[in-house]
């Protein structure tokens, strides 16, 4: 199979035989190694590999000022807000309810080159209407006055925030991007820049790329199919049509027509339970040869299934490479942090230095403890649990325990009272993670990596806390603490040349596979239905050219349809069982394939099956059955 990357590399080598004459700019780091491998295969000789960077790296090269993360931006915004008369009584807890959304809006205004005064003027008018402030003599209530005061203060808050960043010689990626885009000059560079595989671009990114194209020092290539590119109503081609029009590209290169003509076999498997989809995928993987595995991807439409998937990879799969940004919030670390804060909350709630038995029990049952304790220690914990229930020991003194030297040390740290000293609290967390990293061995590599990434996140937070934290209670600190680490991801970069590839949707950009195994293709999962965190109403966003939920759906649609450009076979699973008050249903993409694509391409074959586990089999003899 000749992939899109192979086609691009062939064209690049024809235009620039020397690899030091050009730079490739791609959407993400994931495809970098695939390009390297393609150059090596194509040239088949020793060579200096070309520079391959992301567009964020291209932008960051233009500044020497430190680019700060979202947590530090939030902290600086609070400091700026409390210096204003309107917010002099603002608590940090109240600020956290709107600080993130305001930062998101500031960021978007810069990325989309929108004049702030234009946005805020319209926003204030909308909020006046919502408050029934129609200019009559009727006075607003005190709460309405506070409501309007917040919106009226946003313009000056925006100016003050950017001024404070400049004063501290700090910047953000959106500020750099805006500054580059508004420079009214053509780009001049010694090397030719190829912008490959981009889909959704902000207005500022379009300006930056346009600078290279205008100077004839760049090319813009898209990975698209005629099926959705030429159909004005199809959401998957939305951004491509906009970009091509913006760059005045009338005949884009490398546009495929595989969706309308290629043979494609699609197997749809309906599963009553979410976890049943893992069994289906594992059964399919067992059937594949090593050669077939090398051209196969397991796409986690529902990325929360990553841990069960990893635990169910068949032994016949010699090598499985994970390329996924797994949010730490979807790992067991989330429950461990919950226990950590529950201990402190119960100390405040019951006004005691003793440990609450439910916190102790949850800790002893947590995988970060159970994976490394020895059998004799486990037996001691069982005895402790039995005696706790028998003698009704609701509160206990950790100093009296004697389980294991390392476990006792961890328990002493965990049950130490923070007493609102959050600098001390972070130091305690550091020590706990260090001790866990000592005991979790290499046979639990996933747990090791999770703890390591969390530790790095805590170091960043500690550096920020050293500058001083505003006064806050435990609940506020917990919210601030979680906002920082929950956005961290466990990034894996597998070997793209051999073995099975396991990825999330965003990691598939620019990559082609002959066989697709798509797990968890349910509506609300893909496409995702989560809203956009913004203070700007959707009608105003649409009028200003800011992305709305429609654009978000278009982004997901292109990523999904692009997977089928060169695919020959696909297994798609989805769940139909209810989850509490919510019923699962198949993704709209499945219906679109059946009702739209199948009519255009008669060479597509679709089969439907259901997965079930025979009820007469007990837990020790259960096996997967596809009906």
242, 258, 274: which is the final residue of a domain?
258
Lowest mean pLDDT: which of 323-332, 352-361, 402-411? 323-332
What is d(CA 190, CA 192) in angstroms, rounded to the nearest whole number? 7
Residues 92 and 185 in one domain: no
491, 518, 537: which is the final residue of a domain?
491
Lowest mean pLDDT: which of 80-94, 100-114, 177-191? 177-191
pLDDT of 230 above 50: yes
159 against 45, higher pLDDT: 159
Residues 53 and 90 in one domain: no
Q: What is the pLDDT of residue 624?
A: 36
Six-digit token string for 163 = 């001024």
Q: Within a 10 A sphere around the Cβ of 288, how many other Cβ atoms?
A: 18
Helix (H) or strand (E) holding 3: none
Average pLDDT for 309-317? 89
Residues in CB range of 362: below 8 A, 6 or more apart? 335, 339, 342
Residues 122 and 138 in one domain: yes
Average pLDDT for 323-338? 86
pLDDT class for 89, splitting at 50, 70, 90?
Answer: confident
Q: What is the pLDDT of residue 623?
A: 35
What is d(CA 449, CA 617) in angstroms, rounded to the nearest whole number? 37
pLDDT of 496 above 70: no
Residues 247 and 277 in one domain: no
613 against 16, higher pLDDT: 16
pLDDT class for 580, splitting at 50, 70, 90?
Answer: low
Q: Within a 10 A sphere around the Cβ of 320, how many other Cβ atoms?
A: 17
Q: What is the pLDDT of residue 616?
A: 47
What is d(CA 58, CA 507) in angstroms, rounded to the nearest whole number? 20
Lowest mean pLDDT: which of 334-338, 342-346, 391-395, 495-499? 495-499
CATH number of the domain at 317, please.
3.40.50.300
pLDDT of 626 above 70: no
580 against 509, higher pLDDT: 509
Instruction: Tell me the pLDDT tens digit for each residue of 90-149.
Output: 889 889 889 999 999 999 999 999 999 889 888 888 877 776 655 555 666 666 667 677
Crossing angle (nearest 10°) for helices 333-350 and 357-364: 170
Average pLDDT for 160-164? 96
253 against 321, higher pLDDT: 253
612 against 381, higher pLDDT: 381
| CB environment 18-33: b (16+ within 10 A), e (fewer) | eeeebbbbbbbbbbbb
Six-digit token string for 503 = 């990825």
Parallel, antiparallel or unpaired: strands 325-327 and 489-491: antiparallel
pLDDT of 240 above 60: yes
Six-digit token string for 19 = 């690899």
Residue 435 lies in domain: 333-491
pLDDT class for 1, splitting at 50, 70, 90?
Answer: confident
Q: How many helices (H) and strands (E) does the chain have?
A: 28, 18
pLDDT class for 492, splitting at 50, 70, 90?
Answer: low
Residues 317 and 342 in one domain: no
pTM of model > 0.75 = yes
Q: What is the pLDDT of residue 173?
A: 94
Instruction: Tell me the pLDDT tens digit for each residue of 498-552.
Output: 789 999 898 899 999 999 999 999 999 999 888 888 889 899 999 999 999 999 9
pLDDT of 242 above 50: yes
Residues 483 and 524 in one domain: no
Residues 506 and 474 in one domain: no
Q: Which span out of 132-136, 186-190, 320-324 was modeled with the highest average pLDDT?
A: 320-324
Residues in CB range of 436: below 8 A, 6 or more apart? 368, 410, 451
Average pLDDT for 170-179? 94
Rg (CA), the chain: 28
202, 237, 258: which is the final residue of a domain?
258
pLDDT of 176 above 90: yes
Q: Which span out of 275-284, 308-317, 405-414, 560-569 was modeled with the highest average pLDDT?
A: 560-569
pLDDT class for 605, splitting at 50, 70, 90?
Answer: very high
Number of domains in the chain: 4
Residues 54 and 202 in one domain: yes
Residues 47 and 95 in one domain: no
Residue pointed to by tokens 């749809």: 268
Lowest mean pLDDT: which of 221-230, 240-249, 298-307, 557-566? 298-307
Q: What is the pLDDT of residue 8?
A: 97
Residues 349 and 469 in one domain: yes
pLDDT of 621 above 50: no
Residues 215 and 280 in one domain: no
Residues 136 and 241 in one domain: no
Q: What is the pLDDT of residue 582?
A: 56
pLDDT class for 292, splitting at 50, 70, 90?
Answer: very high
In the chain, % of residues over pLDDT 70? 92
């Amino acid at each position: 199979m000749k992939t899109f990357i192979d086609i691009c590399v062939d064209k690049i080598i024809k235009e620039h035989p020397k690899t030091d004459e050009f730079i490739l700019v791609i959407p993400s780091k994931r495809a970098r190694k695939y390009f390297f491998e393609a150059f090596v295969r194509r040239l088949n000789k020793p060579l200096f590999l070309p520079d391959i960077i992301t567009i964020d790296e291209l932008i960051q090269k233009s500044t020497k000022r430190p680019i700060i993360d979202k947590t530090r931006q939030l902290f600086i915004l609070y400091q700026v807000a409390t210096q204003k008369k309107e917010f002099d009584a603002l608590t940090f807890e109240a600020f956290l309810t709107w600080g993130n959304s305001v930062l998101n809006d500031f960021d978007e205004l810069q990325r989309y080159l929108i004049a702030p005064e234009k946005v805020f003027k319209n926003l204030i008018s909308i909020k006046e209407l919502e408050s029934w402030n129609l200019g009559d003599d009727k006075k607003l209530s005190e709460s309405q006055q506070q409501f309007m005061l917040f919106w009226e203060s946003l313009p000056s808050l925006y100016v003050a925030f950017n001024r404070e960043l400049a004063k501290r010689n700090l910047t953000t990626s959106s500020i750099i991007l805006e500054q580059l885009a508004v420079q009214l000059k053509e780009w001049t560079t010694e090397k030719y820049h190829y912008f490959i595989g981009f889909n959704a671009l902000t207005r500022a990114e379009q300006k930056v790329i346009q600078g290279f194209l205008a100077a004839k020092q760049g090319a813009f290539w898209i990975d698209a199919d005629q099926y959705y590119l030429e159909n004005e109503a199809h959401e998957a081609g939305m951004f491509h049509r906009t970009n091509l029009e913006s760059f005045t590209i009338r005949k884009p290169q490398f546009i495929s027509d595989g969706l309308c003509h290629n043979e494609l076999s699609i197997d749809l498997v309906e599963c009553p339970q979410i976890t049943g989809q893992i069994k289906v995928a594992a059964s399919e993987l067992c059937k594949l040869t090593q050669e077939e595995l090398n051209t196969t991807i397991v796409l986690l439409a529902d990325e929360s299934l990553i841990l069960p998937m990893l635990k169910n990879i068949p032994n016949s799969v010699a090598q499985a490479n994970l390329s996924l940004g797994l949010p730490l919030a979807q790992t067991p670390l989330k429950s461990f942090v919950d226990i950590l804060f529950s201990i402190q909350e119960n100390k405040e709630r019951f006004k005691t230095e003793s440990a609450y038995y439910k916190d102790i029990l949850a800790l002893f049952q947590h995988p970060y403890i159970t994976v490394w304790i020895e059998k004799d220690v486990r037996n001691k914990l069982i005895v402790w649990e039995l005696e706790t229930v028998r003698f009704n020991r609701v509160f206990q003194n950790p100093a009296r325990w004697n389980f294991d030297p390392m476990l006792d040390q961890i328990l002493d740290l965990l049950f130490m009272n923070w007493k609102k000293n959050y600098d001390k609290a972070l130091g305690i967390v550091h020590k706990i993670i260090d001790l866990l990293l000592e005991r979790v061995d290499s046979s639990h590599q996933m747990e090791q990596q999770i703890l390591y990434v969390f530790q790095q996140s805590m170091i960043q937070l500690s550096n920020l806390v050293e500058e001083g934290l505003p006064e806050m209670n435990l609940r506020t600190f917990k919210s601030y603490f979680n906002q920082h680490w929950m956005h961290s991801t466990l990034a894996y970069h597998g070997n793209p040349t051999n073995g099975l590839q396991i990825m999330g949707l965003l990691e598939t950009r620019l990559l082609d596979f002959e066989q697709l195994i798509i797990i968890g293709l349910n509506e609300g999962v893909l496409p995702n239905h989560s809203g956009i965190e913004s203070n700007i109403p959707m009608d105003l966003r649409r009028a200003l050219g800011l992305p709305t939920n429609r654009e978000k759906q278009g982004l997901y649609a292109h990523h999904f349809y692009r997977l089928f450009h060169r695919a020959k076979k696909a297994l798609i699973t989805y769940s139909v069982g209810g989850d509490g008050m919510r019923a699962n249903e198949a993704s709209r993409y499945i219906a679109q394939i059946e009702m739209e694509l199948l009519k255009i391409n008669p060479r597509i074959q679709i089969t439907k099956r259901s997965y079930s586990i025979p009820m007469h089999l007990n837990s020790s003899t259960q096996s997967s059955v596809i009906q």
